[in-house]
Amino acid sequence: MSAERLTSMFAARRAGNSTALLPFMTAGLPDPGHAVEMFEAMAGAGADGFEVGIPYSDPLMDGPIIQEGGARALATGVGLEEGLEIAGRVVARTGLPALVMTYANVVVQAGPDEFARRAADHGVSGVIVADLPLEEAGPIQEAVERAGLGMVLFAAPTTTEARLRRIVDAEPVFIYGVADLGVTGERKVASSRAGELAGRIRALTDIPLVLGVGISTPEQAAAVAASADGVIVGSALVRRVLEARTPADAISSVATGVREFRAAL
């Protein structure tokens, strides 16, 4: 798998005038033995690909739900290498593209080229580094692209026009549009700024746009679907894992959630 797999997926969705669904799930949930089965269930429920979260001890961008998910995974011994292995098995078992999401410190400690090589060896298609500012993204993006993977860059409602142009000029595999300010987590009311952000990005480029952060219900996903190539849903699904009593219940509940989001898109 490579960045082209993501590009093809977005192209197919555009041709079908529909929106991709990219569920986020922390690697290692509900437990290491059932982690891949969880992603298989999401694939069967209609996911187009995955954002696989590498458990990390200082997840600055994540709210309480995903923080708790990461802590549970770390407690079972799932770290970077185990997370990459799970991502690789997900790709092999589902045939869908997967991106790994991590933090800059993890990439820097491994070395950008070494991190990218290991990710590519496991068959993932792209990399999301949640706390990587555009000004410091160059060396990591270059390493990721040398490995044949796609780099994702963020844009928020507060991003200036000049900065948006620099993001576009960097040619990421897709732009992650932050639908709502703040950390990840569920919102009772959908962001009113996601559509405006999408319009500003669409005016500059046809690079795929994926909206995430705070998209918590199928109705909220449907409201932004027309303006984006894809939607990422994280906390609303991880919460189902945290609330489940058994791994089987977690897998069933998450699959139901993905099926509901897919139907809305």
Output the pLDDT for position 2. 83
Phi, psi at 263, each rounded to 5°: -65, -30
Q: How far apart are CA 235 and CA 215, in angstroms?
A: 9
**pLDDT, tens only, 198-218:** 999 999 999 999 999 888 899
Q: How far apart are CA 15 and CA 248, in angstroms?
A: 36
Q: How far apart are CA 73 and CA 27, in angstroms?
A: 7
Mean pLDDT in residue range 137-166: 96
Q: How far apart are CA 35 and CA 218, in angstroms?
A: 24
3-state SS class at 187: coil
Scan for tokens 């746009």, then name that residue.
209
In this structure, are residues 240 and 25 in contact, taking their beta carbons and an 8 Å threshold? no
In the chain, % of residues over pLDDT 70: 96
pLDDT category, 40, cuts 50, 70, 90?
A: very high
Sheet strands (E) in 73-212: 98-102, 126-129, 150-155, 174-178, 209-212
Q: How far apart are CA 130 and CA 84, in angstroms?
A: 17
Output the pLDDT for position 186. 67
Mean pLDDT in residue range 85-93: 97
**Tokens matching residue 177:** 């549009």
Residue 209: exposure state from Cβ atoms within 10 A (0-12, 13-18, ≥19): buried
Output the pLDDT for position 66. 92
Report the catalytic residues. Answer: 51, 62
In this structure, are residues 99 and 153 in contact, taking their beta carbons and an 8 Å threshold? no
Identify the helix (H) or strand (E) that includes residue 230. strand 230-233
Mean pLDDT in residue range 225-240: 94
Q: What are the distances in angstroms from CA 9 to CA 20, 125, 126, 194, 203?
A: 8, 11, 13, 22, 22
Output the pLDDT for position 37. 97
Least confident range of 34-48, 114-128, 203-217, 238-252: 203-217
pTM summary value: 0.93
Q: How far apart are CA 15 and CA 18, in angstroms?
A: 8
Helix (H), strand (E) counts: the chain: 12, 8
> Does residue 192 or residue 251 have the better pLDDT?
251
Output the pLDDT for position 62. 83
Helix axes 218-225, 247-264, angle to 10 degrees: 40
Helix axes 235-243, 247-264, angle to 10 degrees: 150
Identify the helix (H) or strand (E) that includes residue 247. helix 247-264
CA dihedral 29, 33, 39, 45 (to 10 degrees): -100
> Is a pLDDT exceeding 80 seen at residue 45?
yes
Mean pLDDT in residue range 241-251: 97
> Is a pLDDT exceeding 90 seen at residue 190?
no
> Is a pLDDT exceeding 80 seen at residue 180?
no
pLDDT category, 17, cuts 50, 70, 90?
A: very high
> Is a pLDDT exceeding 70 seen at residue 187?
no
C-alpha radius of gyration, the chain, whole number:
17
Q: How many CB atoms lie within 10 A of CB 134?
A: 16
Output the pLDDT for position 91. 97
